[in-house]
Amino acid sequence: MLEENIVKLTCKELGLTQKDLADTLGVSKPSVERWAQSGDIPDQAKKQLELLVENSKIKNELNELKSALNILSKYSK
């Protein structure tokens, strides 16, 4: 089974278009399109994509924890 392209996976996970991703990374849209098509992504860009996804997951987990704390604080009074 082929591994999904990290550009396409990042766009899907973060709900971004390739243009949005290009703007976020500070690169041109054609560069992101080329990476998505070829899978030939510079190492620095791969690391940025991995960090974007990781950051998004951490933010989601933090929001879940905040919600849980709010619920607990309501019942501990």
pTM of the model: 0.80
> At what angle are helices 29-38 and 6-14 packed, to 10 degrees?
120
Domain ranges, ordered by start, for the chain: 6-75
Please say whether the beta carbons of 25 and 48 come within 8 A. yes
Report pLDDT digits (tens) over 6-40: 999 999 999 999 999 999 999 999 999 999 999 89
Q: What is the third-level CATH fold of 6-75? A: 434 Repressor (Amino-terminal Domain) (1.10.260)
Confidence (pLDDT) at 33: 96
